[in-house]
Structure 1
Amino acid sequence: MPSSDIIIKNISNVPEIQSNDNLSKIIIHALKKNRLKLKNKDVLVITQKIISKSENRLVHKNNIIPTQSAKKLSKQIGKSSVLTQLILDESQRIIKKKHGVIITETNHGFICANSGIDQSNIPPNYFCLLPINPDKSAKKIRIALEREFNVKLGVIISDTFGRPFRSGQIDVAIGVSGISPLLNYKGKKDSFKKNINVTSIAVADELASSAELVLGKTNKSPIALIRGYDFQISSKNSKLLIMPKNKSMFS
């Protein structure tokens, strides 16, 4: 729903996340150190990287044995055979190979570069994979925080994706809980009293992108609080943001 004033704040005092860390407890502790008490319909945007770290999704290169097909593809594209193998393992299919990038459809259904795998902000010789089920991760954190603060919340797991036919990258929602990912205007009236027939706004993506403005890529701030957006409470998840293949113009 439209809101007149929205506040976006990064949450400091979040330690370096390790495997099997209890993220919910860490977030609660960080909020209290920031003297922040969550309010009804607050939204927390959490970067994918700390979810992956806590869920043991960091893989050392020595633990990957590339197949012959991965070795062949790696020579074609100019990537290491280890990374190429991981890209294949984490994908359903390859969409495009060009300019040293492999665009894939991940096992989740996301269309992104290199199956969402990257090596930023992690130790050398490791690769960071996307969480297995980002929606489940978001839901687990939301339930714990709602119980702690006795409010209704939205939780979004964000990651950085490129965009076809556009330069630059933006953060999008890969995991959603508690908030409707889409805002449907169908059946409403526009400013000229005409019926709106098709407009559906990806509010979860918009919130993820807005949070990135205070998070950035270098300041080690992996969590943002968005306050003032009157979202629709929903049990739906990020699957709504994935275009069905029978409706896609580019499949």
Structure 2
Amino acid sequence: MSGPAAPAVPSYEVRALAGIPEVRPGDDLAALIAAADPGLRDGDVLLVTSKIVSKAEGRIVRAESREEAVDAETVRVVARRGALRIVENRQGLVMAAAGVDASNTDPGTVLLLPEDPDRSAAGIRSALRELLSVDVGVIVTDTFGRPWRTGLTDVAIGSAGVRVLDDLRGGTDDRGNPLSATIVATADELAAAGDLVKGKAAGLPVAVVRGLGHVLGEGSAAADLVRAPADDMFRLGTSEAVREAVTQRRTVRAFTDEPVDPGAVRRAVAAAVTAPAPHHTTPWRFVLLESARSRLELLDAMRDAWVEDLRRDGKSEESIAKRVRRGDVLRNAPYLVVPCMVTDGAHDYGHARRDAAEREMFVVAMGAGVQNFLVALAGERLGSAWVSSTMFCRDVVRKVLGLPEGWDPMGAVAVGHAAAAPAERPARSAAAFIEVR
């Protein structure tokens, strides 16, 4: 007697397709593939190198240089090192040189990626169904480098009839442990498998995968593989991230009710105190008002002092009420910080001009610390607004908060989660602020 049949061991076959001629603009790519006797069956996955798709679609353009074409195809520079640029291109892909290819094309021309790779894949799939009466998946592939890993690999930039992602979240592994973050990039794995037989210089731009019919399916596209900006923790290169952090910081005046993480504020303070300072001093102190009681007590006392000043100035009650409402940004914030300056270590020259300059050095250092703080808060996805009001009633602030006499409040920072995206800020040309001697 024979025992029970052994369970089937998963396997698949991948092979390159020979016989594809040089592709030229206007060629019917599906017809060329069909003419090469691909032996396709239902459930196969066809892997097509983007270069021949681009050639068939006439994505060959004249350019004085490759860099000129890269400029035209770039939506956003992600990272730059010398002549190398990692960019987001018009298709939403983040890759070197926007995918512009100057190889295997006539001098003075470059090859751009397909305008819509998912649409290209769908067109090839539909045409092969008509020509060969088969239901296959189609993936358009291109070569990418990757963060953290040396070397290139093929990935899917276009897809039709393939479930590009296998979302395993909510399931369990073979030990019963829950899977909470596992999403497999199936289309990229298929693309990489095909590259093993196509090669980079073998003149074999098409491959066929057989035995994985379960990956076929409708309703997804390669565009689904592109991580949304809000979820991309590595959206920028180093120098680009520094510039973005500084230039994209905005003053936020309206906040949600979501609590502020005290740890995030403390991390921002740690960044703040790396600012330059005179005489190796540390002139920064940050008072964190984490309780509603402390915030209300301070703001009420500051309001009363402001009203008294305005009445002394002869302002009308209507004018006073209007001005006091400007403080609502602090009153409505879920978290307040009062940066203070201390001048321990300052030199006493006994000379008015030099002593004034000495204090100004500390004020500049304080401003650098506050700027570091605001930028670091933005990096923590927290909005902020620096308001100068505590500088106009320092004695009141010191009294309410119980601060030492030598601590000079230097404004207040409202902190919270922005209620809406800040308005775009018009670009400023550095030339307007520069004098060269």
Same fold (TM over 0.5): yes
Structure 1 distance, partners of 2:111, 2:131, is 30
Structure 2 distance, partners of 1:150, 1:205, is 26
Q: As a proportion of its length, which structure holds more helix?
A: 2
The answer for the alignment partner of 2:60 in structure 1 is 58
Identity %: 35
- Max Rg structure: 2
Structure 1 distance, partners of 2:75, 2:233, is 19
The answer for the alignment partner of 1:238 in structure 2 is 222
Structure 1 distance, partners of 2:204, 2:106, is 17
Q: As a proportion of its length, which structure holds more strand?
A: 1
Structure 1 distance, partners of 2:130, 2:31, is 12
The answer for the alignment partner of 2:383 in structure 1 is none
The answer for the alignment partner of 1:151 in structure 2 is 134
Three-state SS of the structure 1 residue aligned to 2:193 is: helix
Asked if the contact 2:66–2:102 (Cα under 8 Å) also holds between the matched residues in 1, the reply is no
1:102-158 CA distances to partner (integer Å, 9 max, x unpaired)? 111011111000100112222222211111001000000001112333332110000
Structure 2 distance, partners of 1:129, 1:108, is 11
Runs of 4+ in structure 1 off by over 4 angstroms are none
- Larger RCO, structure (CA 8 Å, separation 6 or more): 1
Gaps of 5+ in 2: 1-7, 236-437
Three-state SS of the structure 2 residue aligned to 1:132 is: coil
Are positions 1:6 and 2:8 aligned together?
Answer: no
The normalised TM-score by structure 2 is: 0.50
Q: How many residue pairs are counted as aligned between the two chains?
A: 227
Asked if the contact 1:146–1:152 (Cα under 8 Å) also holds between the matched residues in 2, the reply is yes
Letter in 2 for 1:244: A
Structure 2 distance, partners of 1:95, 1:188, is 35
Structure 1 distance, partners of 2:82, 2:210, is 40
Letter in 2 for 1:9: R
Are positions 1:37 and 2:39 aligned together?
Answer: yes
The answer for the alignment partner of 1:67 in structure 2 is none
Alignment match of 1:134 (pick from 99, 117, 131): 117
The answer for the alignment partner of 1:97 in structure 2 is 80
Structure 2 distance, partners of 1:100, 1:121, is 21
Letter in 2 for 1:19: P
Asked if the contact 2:101–2:112 (Cα under 8 Å) also holds between the matched residues in 1, the reply is yes
The answer for the alignment partner of 1:181 in structure 2 is 164
Cα distance 1:23–1:133, how it changes in 2: closer, same or farther (>3 A)? Answer: same
Structure 1 distance, partners of 2:74, 2:117, is 16
1:7-31 CA distances to partner (integer Å, 9 max, x unpaired)? 111000100000000001111101x
The Cα of 1:3 is off from its aligned counterpart by 7.5
Alignment match of 1:116 (pick from 99, 108, 111): 99
The Cα of 1:58 is off from its aligned counterpart by 1.1
Asked if the contact 1:37–1:149 (Cα under 8 Å) also holds between the matched residues in 2, the reply is no
Three-state SS of the structure 2 residue aligned to 1:246 is: helix
Three-state SS of the structure 1 residue aligned to 2:229 is: coil
Structure 2 distance, partners of 1:155, 1:12, is 17
Asked if the contact 2:139–2:157 (Cα under 8 Å) also holds between the matched residues in 1, the reply is yes
Gaps of 5+ in 1: 63-81
RMSD between aligned alpha carbons?
1.5
* Range with bigger deviation, 95-104 or 220-229: 95-104
